[in-house]
Structure 1
Amino acid sequence: MVHRLLASVLALLLCGVAFAQAPVASPAISYTRDIQPIFTEKCVACHACNDAACQLNLGAGEGALRGASKVPVYQGERSIAVAPTRIFYDASGPEAWRRKGFYSVLDGQSNQAALMSRMLELGHSAPVVPNAKLPDSIKLGLNRENMCPLPGEFNAYASAHPQEGMPLGVTGLTDAQYQTVQRWLAAGAPVDQQPLKASPAEAAQIGQWEELLNRPGSTEALVARWLYEHLFLAHIYFTGGEPGHYFQWVRSRTPSGQPVDLIATRRPDDDPGTVFYYRLMPVQGVIVHKTHITYPMGPNKLARVKQLFYSGDWHATSLPGYGPRHRANPFETFAAIPAVARYQFMLDNAEYFVRTFIRGPVCRGQIATDVIRDQFWVMFQEPAHDKYITDAKYRGEATPLLAMPGQNDNVGSVLRLWLDYRDKRNQYEDLRRDAYADMPPPGWATLWAGNDNALLTIFRHFDSAAVNKGLIGDVPQTMWLFDYPLLERTYYQLAVNFDVYGNVAHQAQTRLYFDLIRNGAEVNFLRLMPADQRDKLLGDWYQEGGKVKMWLDYQKIDDDTPTGMVLNEKDPKRDFALKLLQRSGSLNAAPDPINRCTGAYCSRPNVSETFRNVEQSLSRLTSRPAAGLKVIDQLPEATMLRIQDGKGQRIVYSLLRNRAHTNVAFLLGESSRYLPGLDTLTIYPGVLSSYPNFMFNVPADQVEAFVQAMESAKDQPAFERIVQRWGVRRSNPQFWQFFHDLTSYIQETDPVEAGVLDMNRYENL
């Protein structure tokens, strides 16, 4: 018995030894759990949305499976439009994308590892030198010519570009991340996709909204179409919804309660071609800031929509069709809906609508954005003072003149089409000028003051732009005043009808008409100024060649009819701005003592003493022309300034360079219109760009030294020393920690707006 017991114990011990020495099987790698977080941290900042390099979108498993394409989305010179390739929209699944010309980056071929594996290996074998400036041979930015090699072309690419593996020109994957991705690729790159689904609370609200937009009847169908065309870009979030859950309006062949069968048209106002239903579909994949244009929905919004569109005594007797004519003139297409309801709906969330065309796809490159100033304020006309809203006769005369170009993309017809639409617009400006001359002089009541969307600031950062609530920065050179015809035209021209996949004719017409829109907004504002000062102000906005543009394309302004404003004749625009600030109260969502310091204290009162001192120091850099602050010449457009005190608190500030121009009236030749000595800086708490160009990390107790260094830097070598001491270069070993901390800061301060930022424009300083 004892022998048997000893034998059993010995056997168990031996089994235990054998078990301990046996190899442990590696757990299966999950795309959702293990791979997507790595892509989100190290890849999505360059590989997301339309401007993803080689159209390789790594924000979701669908994008990884889709692969890459040699065809760029943004190609302004193409003579023929290309087929849209919107992820989750124009195709589904690898085979469908292969038929559209995409090639795999995950599949190994001919005993070769997958293209992604080799690109990562190239980057891992030639890492960047820590904290050093990258070699000039590595081209970065939007003007980089992406090679997009096919798997069979990789060896040639690697030979020609040995330092341009992935991630490109930046601190790469950690060893652990690299090994994880390579193991996943070697295992065949399985992708387990877990689509986002609505919570019960969200599903209930979705049901209410879908019921509203799919009601039978001509009146209901017309309102639903108008609402859909105005919300198709929105990332909808619900009252009581889950954090991080967003939805988008689509047209589906299937009704509520069934899976969405999406109808993919180029534009939201194209003919769907079949019976359809308006549906809310979850936004899938990683949220990226540049396309994250949010819109709130809930019981109050639902009640507001019903009040605006369904409470009046009006009816649509028939439904308009689809096609170029209806796309060109939404004022005619939706004439049956009361204009006051349409305008008020847009005013309620004016920031959303301005963001759709300022941050939307048209504003991706320099030629798209050089039609606007680098910093200006936006206001809106009160509906009761908008003649298009209040005067049916005037509305009937104006509507035929409000059609917009871009529907015909015949390259040979561009000039004729442009002249036709320019002349229509100028006829409208004449009509508007004469009609408003007969109205009471405009005063403060002319400006809409319904909520904190009433005052906005727009910043242009060379080849991108951003919108924020409130009046930020010093008094700008120009201001815009939107009435309903101008706001609706801008939205349709730059958001609804703009086709990023269109040809040069379509894009040129869109850009040229935007020039007329800007001029219209400026002229609307001029009506608030003293009549005898308007020509002087306009001349300041259109210096040098701009005067030729005024003569060629713009209508004469009203310089006779008086204003109802009482303003200082010496500087009426600044006096107006200061009085606007005094009167705005809570409407101004962005009090700004840093840039508009009027006394001894140039900081916000609601921050700690440490950060009051920080802001007091930073204020010395603002509202000074580059002629007296030479470091401005060295700065990129949008720099993030991360400042941390000794207690772990940090605040992120945006340091924005506002370039001065003689005018912004031409499509090309922007550099010849710069006035560099008049450039200024705006410094404001928060991340005011989707595309940081650079970043400084400065301890709070070193801010005074940082400001002094900026004040004394007269040339590039002096600025280089600032970069070396406080700059976060692409090669910084902690680059990704600092870069994603910007998103974390948005998450903490304004969580609905948080999304991964884009680093395609991060400069090699």
Structure 2
Amino acid sequence: MACGADQQSIPDSIPDRYVAFETDHGRLYRQQIQPLLDKRCIVCHGCYDAPCQLNLASAQGVDRGANTKAVYNGTRLTAAPLTRLFEDAQTVREWREKKFFSVLNENSAADPLNGSLLYQMLSLKKQNPLAAIAGHNEIIPDDAFDFSLNPKNICPDISEFENYAEEHPNWGMPYGLPELASSELDVLKHWLQAGAPLTELPELDAVYQQQIAVWEEFFNGDSIKERMVARYIYEHLFLGHLYFEVLENNNSEVQAYFNIVRSRTPPGQAIELISTRRPYDDPQVDRVYYRLQRIQNSIVAKKHLPYALNDERLQRFKTLFLETPYRVKELAEYIPKQASNPFETFAEIPVSVRYRFMLEHAKFTINGFIKGAVCRGQVALNVINDHFWVFFVNPDLDALTEIDRFLSTHSEQLNIPSEQESNANILSHWTEYSKLQASYLKEKSGALNKKLKDGFDLSLDWIWDGDSHNQNAALTVFRHFDSASVINGLVGQPPKTAWLIDYPILERIHYLLVAGYDVYGNIGHQLSTRLYMDFLRMESEFNFLALLPGEVRTSLREHWYRGASNAVKNYVYGYAYLDIEPDITYPEDKPAKEYLFEELQQRLSRILSERYHLEQASVPEAHRQSLKQLHAVRGTSASLLPEMGLLLVRDRQQGDKVYTVIRNSAHTHIASMLMEQSNRVPKEDYVTVMPGFVGAYPDALWQVESELLEDFVTKLVNLKKENDYQQVMHQFGIRRSHNEFWQFSDYLHQIFQQHDPIEYGVLDYNRIENR
């Protein structure tokens, strides 16, 4: 369908909708309109993958409007123009010049409702409700909507709406979900008829300003050392949602989150944002200032990376970065090849300092590539297994004392594809990175073998124990097809694989998939990023295998890569080698991997989080006994379950509880980017159940009365075919067509916010299955 933004001229007069927060219209927007958009709209329109780039999580997004171009496009030959909200344009006119068209009324001669695409879309759904297509909680006919992962991008503007409504009468908003209540639509009508006034967030209290001043003083020291440190911290925290822990501890919701940004102006002046594709791109100013900028949009779970700022952390930064004795001679330049390689850029900051910084908030570090720009990340995430545990090399290990010298000698071998920026030619550059990685692995293996032969034991002391208090030492990763989750602790049954991450791996993961990844990049950039991540996964797995007896390493590697070509299996495992047996005594009567997992759990017992275990105290015993049965589900029954579902157990005695049910999809191997389904092994699928919310994209929603929980679990355990699952959904599911879908959604979010105000964000309903 053609779109008017490509055809219409930019209006001569664009309404200025912003009013003071304290006015009646200001309060109308902040107290009624944005909360309504949060509850009903940003469950689909809150990220890069929002249909038609319509992001309704802020006043600025509402005012910006929609665009016909999809951000996620894995086939484009050249990088797309940047359209990041708050960054790549500052005025509505600038957005119109970038082909964004209004969803409000910008025609002064038009009726406020007739001229508003937003209202017309909502009204179309009211005229053609979902109940007219599918009965209460029934499966919606396949031809009614396109629920595929990559639906056709149909983005009409107001001039094309009549044709759109005629061709797709059922495609009003919310798409594929029940209509808004009449009272909700009336509130929106009143707002639109008043001219759709918008308002900025209110001024922050003085206590916030005081905290901002303290941190901006730290980030903007004048010495060369302080400026280098600030750059390093910024390039690792730029995606974070920073909050002041001392101000938020007693609230049911966090009042203010901040981004650390680069500004042309120093603290005390208004921020003048330096906007570049990547955080390490040339700012083109003599002096960069690092500032805390308040996040204007409502928080969505899929992008939420909370990071606490407190006195303890500030002192830790000072101790780690400034009081550690080392000298920085000069500031690094912003040449792309150097800036994309942190081993060169920050070579003068000791590795022990950099590794400690990343390690002590490792969950945040790993979450960067899972919750960053990749709102829709199958190409980025099909490089990892559905369930694995993550451990880290001990930063205090004597054998690592020479790592600074080793990395400075071999830093060029650690160049990564992001140095080619966003228009990479994969064919001409890929061989270069393959050779560099192979060379690095050979050198690393040689150095490690020599060190071990010189008397350093390869034992469980190589595993960081979190300094006996830091829960970041053990993490669990769950992949949900094109999204993923990272949580503290070793959760679920012992997985097929595990990673042991050292500093060079951790730093490359960040600069490959977070700092260096461009969601607007071309096919070469996206494919080379994914292929390089294969190396980092296999290197992490190799590190873990090193703790096992030599004869076990090969058999496990063969199992992990069943069906993969020898070229794939031998790439990392051919160049990386270990001649030394671990100094761990393995019993003959137990599989070595099983024993190693038990020993690691024992070593980390003091820091292992129990938050996501069914055995934790907050889980009622009756719930625990029923839900534990799902951990035994294997094969067909597991494969029929969705990737991730949220289960609300209604319990009048113990209180209502929410559990996450995850299907862990098995594969022969995950080294093939384009043939994932052909590598599936459904008979090896299994289930993990956890209290609370894990994941941002529920595929299914269930509601079960506590007295029927055992019946619900029994039905899941005995699933044999698709019809069995459909019967479960008919009895317990909250399908898209459920006539109380929105009431359920509101209650689910209420529980989420009450029980986990820091991690809370609005869920995404784009993946809800129609089964």
* Global fold match (TM > 0.5): yes
Residue 555 (structure 1) aligned with residue 574 (structure 2): yes
TM-score, structure 2 length as denominator? 0.91
Cα pair 1:253 1:277 within 8 Å, conserved: yes
CA positional deviation for 1:273? 0.9
- 1:494 corresponds to which of 508, 513, 523: 513
Partner of 1:116: 118
- 2:167 corresponds to which of 145, 160, 165: 160
- 1:618 corresponds to which of 600, 618, 627: 627
CA positional deviation for 1:386? 7.5
Rounded Cα–Cα distance in structure 2 between residues aligned with 1:43 and 1:402: 43
Partner of 1:632: 638
Partner of 2:610: 590
TM-score, structure 1 length as denominator? 0.91
Residue 460 (structure 1) aligned with residue 458 (structure 2): no
Partner of 2:67: 69
- 1:756 corresponds to which of 752, 757, 762: 762
Rounded Cα–Cα distance in structure 1 between residues aligned with 2:524 and 2:722: 41
- 2:83 corresponds to which of 76, 82, 85: 85
Q: Percent identity over the alignment?
A: 38
1:702-741 matched pairs, under 5 angstroms: 702-741=708-747
1:181-196 matched pairs, under 5 angstroms: 181-191=188-198, 193-196=199-202
Partner of 2:273: 262
Rounded Cα–Cα distance in structure 2 between residues aligned with 1:365 and 1:396: 33
Range 554-563 or range 86-95, more displaced: 554-563
Partner of 1:447: 463
CA positional deviation for 1:557? 4.0
| CA-to-aligned-CA distance 1:88-132 (integer Å, 9 cap, x gap) | 222223112111110001016574431112111111111112322
Residue 222 (structure 1) aligned with residue 220 (structure 2): no
CA positional deviation for 1:304? 0.5
Rounded Cα–Cα distance in structure 1 between residues aligned with 2:587 and 2:243: 45
CA positional deviation for 1:382? 0.7
In structure 1, the residue corresponding to 2:471 is in which secondary structure? coil
- 2:140 corresponds to which of 108, 115, 134: 134
**Letter of the structure 1 residue corresponding to residue 368 of structure 2:** T
Rounded Cα–Cα distance in structure 2 between residues aligned with 1:299 and 1:229: 21
Partner of 1:580: 600
Residue 180 (structure 1) aligned with residue 187 (structure 2): yes
Cα pair 2:328 2:348 within 8 Å, conserved: yes
Cα pair 1:79 1:505 within 8 Å, conserved: yes
In structure 2, the residue corresponding to 1:695 is in which secondary structure? strand
Count of matched residue positions in the alignment of Structure 1 and Structure 2: 724
In structure 1, the residue corresponding to 2:374 is in which secondary structure? helix
Name the CA shift for 1:273/1:679 in 2 (closer, same or farther; >3 Å).
same
Rounded Cα–Cα distance in structure 1 between residues aligned with 2:611 and 2:68: 47
Residue 518 (structure 1) aligned with residue 516 (structure 2): no
CA positional deviation for 1:141? 4.4
Name the CA shift for 1:734/1:339 in 2 (closer, same or farther; >3 Å).
same
CA positional deviation for 1:412? 7.8
- 2:157 corresponds to which of 150, 153, 161: 150
Name the CA shift for 1:412/1:50 in 2 (closer, same or farther; >3 Å).
closer
**Letter of the structure 2 residue corresponding to residue 65 of structure 1:** D
Name the CA shift for 1:96/1:592 in 2 (closer, same or farther; >3 Å).
closer
Partner of 1:565: 584
Rounded Cα–Cα distance in structure 2 between residues aligned with 1:592 and 1:687: 9
- 1:509 corresponds to which of 528, 532, 539: 528
CA positional deviation for 1:61? 0.9
Residue 272 (structure 1) aligned with residue 283 (structure 2): yes
Rounded Cα–Cα distance in structure 2 between residues aligned with 1:591 and 1:495: 27
Cα pair 1:141 1:763 within 8 Å, conserved: no
Partner of 1:297: 309
In structure 2, the residue corresponding to 1:251 is in which secondary structure? strand
Partner of 2:407: 395
Name the CA shift for 1:139/1:199 in 2 (closer, same or farther; >3 Å).
same
Range 722-731 or range 81-90, more displaced: 81-90
CA positional deviation for 1:245? 1.3
- 1:313 corresponds to which of 307, 325, 329: 325
Partner of 2:659: 653
Cα pair 2:386 2:479 within 8 Å, conserved: yes
- 2:178 corresponds to which of 171, 190, 197: 171
Range 401-410 or range 76-85, more displaced: 401-410
In structure 2, the residue corresponding to 1:376 is in which secondary structure? strand
Residue 545 (structure 1) aligned with residue 564 (structure 2): yes
Rounded Cα–Cα distance in structure 1 between residues aligned with 2:85 and 2:612: 40
Partner of 1:322: 334
CA RMSD of aligned residues (A): 1.9
Rounded Cα–Cα distance in structure 1 between residues aligned with 2:175 and 2:713: 32
In structure 2, the residue corresponding to 1:362 is in which secondary structure? coil
Rounded Cα–Cα distance in structure 1 between residues aligned with 2:424 and 2:270: 44
Moved >4 Å (runs of 4+): 108-112, 386-389, 409-412, 591-594
Name the CA shift for 1:387/1:100 in 2 (closer, same or farther; >3 Å).
farther
Rounded Cα–Cα distance in structure 2 between residues aligned with 1:185 and 1:555: 65
Partner of 2:256: 245
Cα pair 2:441 2:572 within 8 Å, conserved: no
Partner of 1:58: 56
Rounded Cα–Cα distance in structure 2 between residues aligned with 1:510 and 1:229: 18
Name the CA shift for 1:278/1:386 in 2 (closer, same or farther; >3 Å).
farther
In structure 1, the residue corresponding to 2:396 is in which secondary structure? helix
Name the CA shift for 1:619/1:664 in 2 (closer, same or farther; >3 Å).
same
Rounded Cα–Cα distance in structure 2 between residues aligned with 1:641 and 1:480: 30
**Letter of the structure 2 residue corresponding to residue 338 of structure 1:** P
Residue 332 (structure 1) aligned with residue 344 (structure 2): yes
| CA-to-aligned-CA distance 1:425-447 (integer Å, 9 cap, x gap) | 11111111121112223212111
- 2:379 corresponds to which of 367, 372, 376: 367
| CA-to-aligned-CA distance 1:238-288 (integer Å, 9 cap, x gap) | 132243311110011111111111111111101111133110011112111
Range 662-671 or range 645-654, more displaced: 645-654
**Letter of the structure 2 residue corresponding to residue 126 of structure 1:** N
CA positional deviation for 1:585? 2.0
- 1:747 corresponds to which of 741, 749, 753: 753
Rounded Cα–Cα distance in structure 1 between residues aligned with 2:375 and 2:559: 25
Structure of larger gyration radius: 1
**Letter of the structure 2 residue corresponding to residue 581 of structure 1:** Q
In structure 2, the residue corresponding to 1:528 is in which secondary structure? coil
Partner of 2:102: 104
